[in-house]
Amino acid sequence: MTRVDHRHRHLDRIAEVRAGAVAEKVGYPIRIRTAEVVRTSALGAGLIRVTVGGEGTQGFEAHSPDEHVKLIFPDSDGVTRLPEPNGLMLRWPRPSPTAREYTVRAYDPVTGELDIDIALHPGGLASEWARSVRPGEQVHVAGPPGGLIVPFVYDRYVLAGDITALPAIARWLEALPPTAAGWAVIEVAGPEEEIELRRPEAVEVRWLHRGDRAPGTTDLLERAVRALPVSPDERTYVWVAGEAGSIKPLRRWARHELRLAPHDYDVTGYWKRGVADYDDHDHEHDHAEQPVHADH
């Protein structure tokens, strides 16, 4: 009996979705990789970029701005427990290993270098690791499990989020065609957390400064996005990510006020106040670790 090779079927599906008119999440073969830290660099005051490479990153899957990977860390006893390959998937040990999920900022198939931008905050497992890790150290990377493929057929794009969404928004802006139009609305603490963004000329970037208010406690992002002059006569795609509670009203805004079809928007909680390792199961997207707040 002839065996059918399904290893690259996801690439065909990605091409089909990109050539169509409706966004779709496409799954990839999921691998566990041992990579080597190449360098780290500060991006403004709020992000550290960790660049990894080596033989372990060869053939990495990178197709969509919202892709995420899990960085796996040693447990409290110092033992690192890794998932095992299981066909095109991974078999994870129980209980789950100590891990954090982060957006794939960029992958260079020529050099094999993979960039992961990590939001900084005191006491965070991955952010403290990013501050202290040195070139040559190993890191275990699982995923990505897939990505949301969005055909570039829209008149306008609305991209919005806090600093945990900034790496994905930056990748979105670089992926959009040069003729794309719309807005990128990003909440940060202040101008020191702003970074340079490469964007299409007709996409306006609006920075929102939260000041000394805690992340995820304001309606700054919601109000700014609602104020955008979105026209019902234009086809618009909306992508929003950030603190789950603060962006929830924007899911209702996209669904009920803009009356967008489900495939025309994606609003995802990347983190939640009071939860150290939040996961938005409803949307199966990535999240970023944030401080645990005792009052939530």
**String of DSSP letters for 216-265:** T---HHHHHHHTS---TTS-EEEEEEEEHHHHHHHHHIIIIIS---GGGE
Q: What's the full length of the chain, in residues?
A: 296
Over residues 230-239, the pLDDT tens digits come to 999 999 999 9
Asked if the model's pLDDT at residue 242 lies above 60, the reply is: yes
Asked if the model's pLDDT at residue 200 lies above 60, the reply is: yes
Long-range contacts of 206-209 (CB under 8 A, 24+ apart): none
Q: Where are the beta strands (DSSP E) in the chain?
A: 24-27, 32-43, 47-53, 68-73, 84-86, 89-91, 98-103, 106-107, 114-119, 138-142, 146-149, 156-161, 181-188, 202-209, 236-243, 265-271
Fold of 10-147: Elongation Factor Tu (Ef-tu); domain 3 (2.40.30)
- What is the spatial order of strands in the sheet that 68-73 belongs to? 98-103, 68-73, 138-142, 32-43, 47-53, 114-119, 106-107
Which amino acid is it at 68? H
Instruction: Collapse the DSSP code of 140 into the 3-class scheme (helix H, G, I; strand E, B; otherwise coil) and give the result.
Output: strand
Structure-token match 């050099």, residue found: 111
Report the relative pairing of strands 47-53 and 114-119 from DSSP bridges.
antiparallel
Average pLDDT of the segment spanning 126-155: 97
User: 32 and 60 in contact (C-beta within 8 Å)?
Assistant: no
Average pLDDT of the segment spanning 176-197: 98
Neighbours of 145 (CB within 10 A): 19
The closest alpha carbon to 289, from 82, 90, 128, 79, belongs to 128
* Alpha-carbon gap, residue 142 to 34, rounded angstroms: 9
Please give the pLDDT value at position 208.
Answer: 98
User: 184 and 203 in contact (C-beta within 8 Å)?
Assistant: yes
Asked if the model's pLDDT at residue 74 lies above 70, the reply is: yes
* Alpha-carbon gap, residue 197 to 263, rounded angstroms: 26
Which amino acid is it at 87? G
Please give the pLDDT value at position 8.
Answer: 77
Average pLDDT of the segment spanning 39-48: 97
Question: What is the CATH code for 152-271?
Answer: 3.40.50.80
* Alpha-carbon gap, residue 81 to 97, rounded angstroms: 6
User: 27 and 33 in contact (C-beta within 8 Å)?
Assistant: no
Residue ranges of domains in the chain:
10-147, 152-271
Asked if the model's pLDDT at residue 7 lies above 70, the reply is: no
Average pLDDT of the segment spanning 102-131: 94
Over residues 246-284, the pLDDT tens digits come to 999 999 999 999 999 999 999 999 998 866 665 654 433
User: 41 and 59 in contact (C-beta within 8 Å)?
Assistant: no
User: 265 and 148 in contact (C-beta within 8 Å)?
Assistant: no
User: 167 and 182 in contact (C-beta within 8 Å)?
Assistant: no
Average pLDDT of the chain to the nearest whole number: 91
φ and ψ at 126, to 5 degrees? -75, -35
